[in-house]
Amino acid sequence: MKEDKKKQQPDSFLSQELIDETQVQIPIGYEVVNKYPLLPPFSYVNILYNSEKSNYLYFVDEVRLSAQEKQIFQSLYNLLQESLESINEKSANLNFDEQLNTILKENEKLFLANSNTSIEKVKYYLKRDVSGFNIIDPLMHDINIEDISCSGTENPIYVWHRSYDSIPTNIEFGSEEKLNAFVSRIVFRAGKHVSAAFPIADLALQGNHRISVLYQKEITPKGSSFTIRKFKEDPYTIIDLIKFGTINVEIAAYLWMLVEAKMSFIVIGPTGSGKTTLLNAITGLVHPDYKIFSVEDVSEININHENWFTLISRTGFGLEGEGEIGLYALLKAGMRHRPDYIAVGEIRGEEAYVMFQAMATGHAGLCTMHADSLESAIKRLQQKPMDIPPAYVSLMNCALVVKRVKESSGQSSRRVVTTSEILSAGSSHSAFTWSPKGDHFTADLQESVLFKRINESTGIEFNEILEEYRKRIEILKWMAEQDIRDYKKVSDIVGKYYRDPKSVMSQIELGV
């Protein structure tokens, strides 16, 4: 037992040493209003507030390397480069941590004089700079950050924080050379190319994050810039959206009813309003036996569904753009797979016409679109390059308009401001409307055209449809109360209810 305690001591001391070394001087005029770990014990964040300027600052606090540790860093960095140059089949299968530990073991005598603390600090920086995201790596570990943007070397990097909205950080690229090198490396690692000839790139990073790049000063006077939209590994579910207040249980149950009836949905909203998040949550309500076919420019749709095909568009090669495969071609190919649901990450071109043609032949559709209201979305649909005939507009059964709104506390949140049933190109019925005064949703389902359509197609009486609707409200309330929000668990319960509704209802009644 004594030996075990001795073995445990170095780790605890190491953590404490590293935590102590992250204590830095807070800028004058600011006070800490929040602090939490990013990658403990190496990096933390302090949310600072300046009462005089009434602004927040996202202050990253990392362990610092001493002069001796910087030498160790350079030595290990050189050894890593040599190992990559002489890579073999065995080492090719090792991940970065394994590769680094192997090098340390092979060159153990070189680093015997250094403490465990120093080695761990150097390992953190090597992983950050070589396999991570360099100086912005701490930001990538913050689950509260939605996007990261850099507008050049003259300004600090900004983040969009779920609690504090858009705020500057204490991180910035010190020179154009460093920023250009970072952008080039990130794009190269994603298997793409960016240069003075092709200065615009939009691609997926490791972890499925999305980055949009403008390279050098070809089209931006301030030099290279980028925006990273972070991808959540554990996607938000319909239960999360209920808890956030984006929708309520009544809207969620309504959407569930429509999904089962294979109705089509369009999620409308401005940039960053949460359109794809809402689309993901709706796909989580699809029957597990249905086939879903998703088409995107960059992978963002993430659902727990076995019978799911996902296709990503491809840019062309060379000046002529030969070999390009766009959403239009992917959608045409998807029709041959006979999907029950077609999900398009965002419609903005001729692929919209193919999608509406597919809905006209009996396929159900799910898509997002940039617009500030249903009226403006319908106008966009009927203009070039989408060119949807007015008679086809009503094939999109339900439209949800989601927006960022300000709460009384001053923080921003998302709300589905209208849930509309599309009757024609010029008319719709608002099934649910959000009221900013009191922050609540108003329902009008007695006049629901889509519920009546379910009644006509299935023969189920309207009162029975409303009774089934109430059951689903009960299920969703129970899941929210039990904090069942993991997308796999939500999908399992939804699937079980489709197959054996009585057992699910009996479980809820018994409180299981």
- CATH number for the domain harbouring residue 338: 3.40.50.300
> Tell me, what DSSP letter sits at residue 409?
T
Strand partners of residue 59: 46
Distance between CA atoms of 302 and 305, rounded to whole angstroms? 9
The answer to which of 142-146, 292-296, 456-460, 475-479 has the lowest mean pLDDT is 292-296
Of 116, 131, 146, which one is at a domain's C-terminal end? 131
Edge-to-edge strand order for the sheet containing 31-39?
Answer: 31-39, 43-50, 55-62
Taking a C-beta distance cutoff of 8 angstroms, is the pair 194, 175 a contact? no
Give the CATH number, domain containing residue 214: 3.30.450.380
- Is the pLDDT at 20 greater than 60? The verdict is no
Of 229, 246, 268, which one is at a domain's C-terminal end? 229
- Whether residue 348 is found in the same domain as residue 333: yes
Beta carbons within 10 angstroms of residue 118's beta carbon? 18
State the angle between helix axes of 487-499 and 501-510 in degrees (0 to 180), rounded to the nearest 10: 120
**pLDDT the model gives residue 8:** 39
- Whether residue 338 is found in the same domain as residue 408: yes
Strands (E), 353-426: 364-370, 398-406, 412-424
Q: Which residue has the tokens 């109705």?
A: 263
Taking a C-beta distance cutoff of 8 angstroms, is the pair 295, 311 a contact? yes
**pLDDT the model gives residue 49:** 96
- What secondary structure does DSSP assign to 167-213, as a single string? EEBS---SSHHHHHHHHHHHHHHTT----SSS-EEEEE-GGG-EEEE
Taking a C-beta distance cutoff of 8 angstroms, is the pair 350, 328 a contact? yes
- Whether residue 118 is found in the same domain as residue 173: no
Mean pLDDT score, 88-108: 74
User: Which residue would you say has higher pLDDT here, 8 or 153?
Assistant: 153
- Is the pLDDT at 9 greater than 60? The verdict is no
Confidence class for position 115, pLDDT limits 50, 70, 90:
confident
Kindly report the average pLDDT of the chain as a whole number.
Answer: 88
Percentage of the chain modeled with pLDDT above 90: 59
Q: What is the pLDDT of residues 201-226, one digit of tens each?
A: 888 888 778 899 999 988 888 899 99
Domain containing residue 311: 238-510
The answer to which of 317-331, 426-440, 489-503 has the lowest mean pLDDT is 317-331
Strand partners of residue 402: 416
Q: How distant, in Å, are the alpha carbons of 389, 404, 419 from that of 251? A: 29, 18, 8
User: Which residue would you say has higher pLDDT here, 356 or 320?
Assistant: 356
**pLDDT the model gives residue 325:** 85
Strands (E), 425-489: 427-435, 440-443
- Is the pLDDT at 26 greater than 80? The verdict is yes
**pLDDT the model gives residue 16:** 52
User: Is 6 part of a structural domain of the chain?
Assistant: no
- Whether residue 178 is found in the same domain as residue 256: no
Give the helix/strand (H/E) hosting 356. Answer: helix 351-360
Model pTM score = 0.82
Distance between CA atoms of 370 and 347, rounded to whole angstroms? 8
Q: Which residue has the tokens 């009008």?
A: 444
User: Is 25 part of a structural domain of the chain?
Assistant: no
User: Is 49 part of a structural domain of the chain?
Assistant: no
Confidence class for position 112, pLDDT limits 50, 70, 90:
confident
**pLDDT the model gives residue 94:** 61
Q: How distant, in Å, are the alpha carbons of 58, 144, 165, 167, 308 from that of 171? A: 9, 17, 17, 12, 40
Confidence class for position 99, pLDDT limits 50, 70, 90:
confident
The SS3 of residue 262 is coil
Of 229, 247, 265, which one is at a domain's C-terminal end? 229
State the angle between helix axes of 96-106 and 116-126 in degrees (0 to 180), rounded to the nearest 10: 140
Confidence class for position 7, pLDDT limits 50, 70, 90:
very low
**pLDDT the model gives residue 382:** 95
User: Which residue would you say has higher pLDDT here, 290 or 10?
Assistant: 290
Distance between CA atoms of 218 and 417, rounded to whole angstroms? 40
Q: What is the pLDDT of residues 351-389, one digit of tens each?
A: 888 889 889 888 899 999 999 999 999 999 999 999 999
User: Which residue would you say has higher pLDDT here, 512 or 314?
Assistant: 314
- Whether residue 249 is found in the same domain as residue 368: yes
Beta carbons within 10 angstroms of residue 128's beta carbon? 21
Q: How many domains does the chain have?
A: 3
